[in-house]
């Protein structure tokens, strides 16, 4: 059965500061670089078969993908549809778990005063996933992106309530596997 993998980028400076990153381009910490390299080693050691890495153009995801690619030899290419959601007025604010922001994330048509709605985010990520599935090229992909993208991908493959969707997230450089339903 066909499948794909997803990982969130390594730790960023704003992760440490508990700030909302969104579409703001924030770099990896030293730990973030190490996490990415460790994931590359894990993929190599566990002989996880991946044909190509698709990554978000934001530097935190691009650098994570580069480390993985350098260690594993897996080719990589940028995929703009994996860019993190723009959280508008919340970008760069903290804490990420503030009640106002958590409530705003459950309103799927809110653009966060200048950002991107959850519906628009889901549309572009679902379109990417549909394209990969319909391509049916036999390749196994690793998508390297962001926590917001992780919740969209999770919702594509599994039913979720609005609250589950808003709260879903994965750790930096956690590797998740998803199967296409045939």
What residues act catalytically?
Answer: 9, 84
Give all strands of the β-sheet with 52-55 in edge-to-edge order. Answer: 76-78, 52-55, 141-145, 3-8, 175-179
Report yes or no: 37 and 67 within 8 Å, Cβ to Cβ.
yes
Rounded to whole angstroms, the Cα distance separating 57 from 165 reads 24
Place of tokens 């959280």: 87
Q: What is the CA radius of gyration of the chain?
A: 16
Residue 95, Cβ density class (10 Å: 0-12 exposed, 13-18 middle, ≥19 buried): exposed
**Alpha carbons 49 and 68: distance in angstroms, whole number:** 13
């Amino acid at each position: 059965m066909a499948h794909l993998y997803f990982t969130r980028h390594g730790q960023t400076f704003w992760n440490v500061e508990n700030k909302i990153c969104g579409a703001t381009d924030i770099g990896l910490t030293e730990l973030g670089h190490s996490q990415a390299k460790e994931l590359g080693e894990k993929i190599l050691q566990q002989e996880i078969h991946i044909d190509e890495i698709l990554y978000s153009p934001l530097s935190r995801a691009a650098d994570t993908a580069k480390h993985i690619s350098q260690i594993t030899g897996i080719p990589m290419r940028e995929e703009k549809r994996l860019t993190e959601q723009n959280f508008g007025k919340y970008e760069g604010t903290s804490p990420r778990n503030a009640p106002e922001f958590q409530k705003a994330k459950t309103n799927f048509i809110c653009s966060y005063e200048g950002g991107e709605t959850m519906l628009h985010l889901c549309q572009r990520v679902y379109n990417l996933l549909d394209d990969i599935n319909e391509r049916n090229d036999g390749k196994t992909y690793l998508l390297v992106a962001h926590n917001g993208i992780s919740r969209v991908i999770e919702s594509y493959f599994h039913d979720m309530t609005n609250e589950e969707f808003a709260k879903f997230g994965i750790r930096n450089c956690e590797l998740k596997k998803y199967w296409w339903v045939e």
